[in-house]
Structure 1
Amino acid sequence: MKAVLIDDEKNALEMLEWQLQNYCPQVQIMALCNSADKGIAAIQEYQPQLVFLDIEMPVKNGFEVLQQFPDPTFETIFTTAYNQFALKAFRFAAFDYLLKPIDAEDLTKTIQRYQRQRLNSNFKQQLEILMQQYVSPNSLPEKVSFSTQQAIHFVKPETIVYCESDSNYTTLFFVDKTKLVVSKTLKDVEELLVGYQFMRIHHSYLINLKEVSRYIKTEGGAIEMNDGAQLPISRQRKDELMRILSL
C-alpha cells in the first residue's frame, strides 16, 4: 500500500514515518513532503493509495492540495492538531483524521479501516461539506455524511424521524419509511444532529423534534412520531422535553 505524507512540520512528518514503519509495515512510504506543492508533485509521481495530509500549511493548505485531484485515486487521512471546529468538520464530512500527537493504536485502526473499505466515490461531496464547515464552523451543512460498511451516505437531517441506538451502531429511521444502519454510536450521531433540532429523549433514542406527533400520557410518558413509532422518555429527560414542546 503506497502512501505519501504531507505536513509542513518536520517533526510531525518524521514521527508519522516512524510510526508507520513500526506499526503498519503494510504501508510503503513513497515520499515525505513538507509543502503542498511537493505533496502535489509526489502524488502525481507515485500514484499512492493513501495520502496523510495536514490542512493547516503555509502558502497552500490541504484543501488546495485536494482540489488538484477532483477525481482522486487515493484515500485521504487528515492529520491535525486539536481544534474543536476542525474535528466537527471532519465528523460532518465523514473523513478519517488523526490527532497530533498521533496515537499508534489510532493509526493502526485507521489503516485497518481503510483496508476494509473501497475507494469512496463521493469524495467531491465529502470535500464540499468539509470545506464549508472548516471555513464557516458556525453554519450547518444541508447534508450530513454517515458511514456504513458499504458506503458513505449523504443525508438531509430533516428527512430523519428518529435514531435508535444499537451498541456501537445507530439505526436512522426516515420519513419515507426507509432506514439506515450507520457505524456511529448514538452519542456521535447526537453531536452531529443536535443543531438541527434533534433531542436525546432516552439512552436509546434521539428524535427529530419537528417529527413529533403527540405526547402519550402513559406511566412515564411516551412520544409518538409522525411515522407512528412510540418511543419511551427517560425520567431525566422528561421535564426538558415538556418544556421544549411547551406541554
Structure 2
Amino acid sequence: MKTLIVDDERLARIELRRLLQEFPKIEIVGEAANADEALQLIEELEPELLFLDIQMPGRNGFELLSALKGSAPDVIFTTAFDEYAIKAFEYNALDYLLKPIDTERLKEAISRIEENFPAGDGQPKAEINRTEKILGQDDQVFVKDGDRCWFVKLSKVRLFESMGNYVRLYFDDQKPLVLKSLNSLEERLDQQAFFRANRKHIINLAWVDKIEPWFSGGLLVTLQGGDKIEISRRQTIRFKELTSL
C-alpha cells in the first residue's frame, strides 16, 4: 500500500517511519510537512493511504482532505489532541491515533487497512466519497464519551436512542453518548440495515430477535440482549415492506 506521511514535525515523521518498518505491506512513498506539500505529492504519487496530522501551519488536516479532487486516499489521523475525534468520524477515517503512537494501536490500525484491501491487486475494495459515504454494518466509527473512547464496528451497535441533542449507542455492555441528533445520524446510516423504529430509536435489523403485535397497529421488537423497542404504527408499514419477501 503506497503510503504518504503528512506531519509538520520532522521528529514525528521519523518516528512514524520507524514504527511502520515492521509492516512490509506499507510502502512509504513520501513525506510532507504541510498541506500544500501533501496536495502536490498526492497528485504526483497517488498514495493509497495517508498518515495525517491535524494541526499544521497553514491548512489543517481536515482542510487538506476537503481540498482533494476526485477520490481521496484512506486516512489514519495521527495527532496529540483527542478533541478532533468526532470530526474525524465525519471524514470516515480508518483510525485515529493519539501521539505518542502506541505500537499495539498501530497494529490494530494496519490490520483494519488490510481488511480494506483484497489480496493480490493492491487496490481498495471501493472508492468512497469521504463526506457523503453511507455507513453500513462493516464500517467502524470512533466514539468518545468523556475520557473513554471506542472504535466500534457498526454491526455491534444494536440500538441508537435519542437523548435530546445527543444519541446513546448500545453495544456490548457499553452505552456512550455522542453529541449528534438522531435525524442527522439516520441520514448517514444504511437504511437497509438500520431502521428508524420511532421518534426516539433506530434499531439494527440484524439484532432483531422477536416481533410481536402491539397497540394501535404497531409492533414490539425484542432485540438480542433483551431491549424492547416499539415500532410506531406509521413505521410498521415500512418495516413489513423492508423485512418481507
TM-score range, shorter chain: 0.5 to 0.7
Q: 1:228 aligns with which of 220, 224, 235?
A: 220
Normalising by structure 2, what TM-score? Answer: 0.57
Q: 2:84 aligns with which of 83, 86, 108?
A: 86
Residue 131 (structure 2) pairs with residue 148 (structure 1)? no
Residue 9 (structure 2) pairs with residue 9 (structure 1)? yes
User: Which residue in 1 is equivalent to 2:106?
Assistant: 107
1:115 partner letter: E
Normalising by structure 1, what TM-score? Answer: 0.56
Q: Distance in 1 between matches of 2:222 and 2:85?
A: 34
Q: Distance in 2 between matches of 1:94 and 1:189?
A: 22
Q: Is the 8 A contact 1:7 1:13 kept in 2?
A: yes
Q: CA deviation at 1:66?
A: 1.3
Residue 49 (structure 2) pairs with residue 50 (structure 1)? yes
User: Which residue in 1 is equivalent to 2:166?
Assistant: none
Alignment size in residue pairs: 172
- Within-5 A mapping of 1:200-239: 210=200, 227-229=219-221
1:103 partner letter: D
Change over 3 Å in CA distance of 1:77–1:173 after alignment to 2:
closer
User: Which residue in 2 is equivalent to 1:192?
Assistant: 178
Q: Is the 8 A contact 1:6 1:35 kept in 2?
A: yes
Q: Is the 8 A contact 1:94 1:146 kept in 2?
A: no
2:62 partner letter: F
Q: Distance in 1 between matches of 2:31 and 2:84?
A: 23
Q: Distance in 2 between matches of 1:43 and 1:189?
A: 39
Q: CA deviation at 1:194?
A: 7.8
Q: Is the 8 A contact 2:156 2:172 kept in 1?
A: yes
Q: Is the 8 A contact 1:31 1:42 kept in 2?
A: yes
Q: Is the 8 A contact 1:2 1:48 kept in 2?
A: yes
1:228 partner letter: L
1:191 partner letter: L
Which residues of structure 1 form unaligned runs of 5+? 127-144, 154-165, 175-181, 198-206, 212-223, 234-247
Question: Identity of paired residues, percent?
Answer: 31
Q: Distance in 1 between matches of 2:71 and 2:126?
A: 9
SS at match of 2:28: strand
Query: 1:127-172: CA deviations, max 9, x gaps?
Result: xxxxxxxxxxxxxxxxxx74533x579xxxxxxxxxxxx9x82234
Q: CA deviation at 1:119?
A: 3.8
Query: 1:74-122: CA deviations, max 9, x gaps?
Result: 2111111132x31233345542211111111111221111121234523
SS at match of 2:57: coil
SS at match of 1:79: strand
Q: Distance in 2 between matches of 1:5 and 1:101?
A: 15
Q: Distance in 2 between matches of 1:189 and 1:45?
A: 45
User: What is the RMSD of the two structures over their aligned residues, measured on CA atoms?
Assistant: 3.9
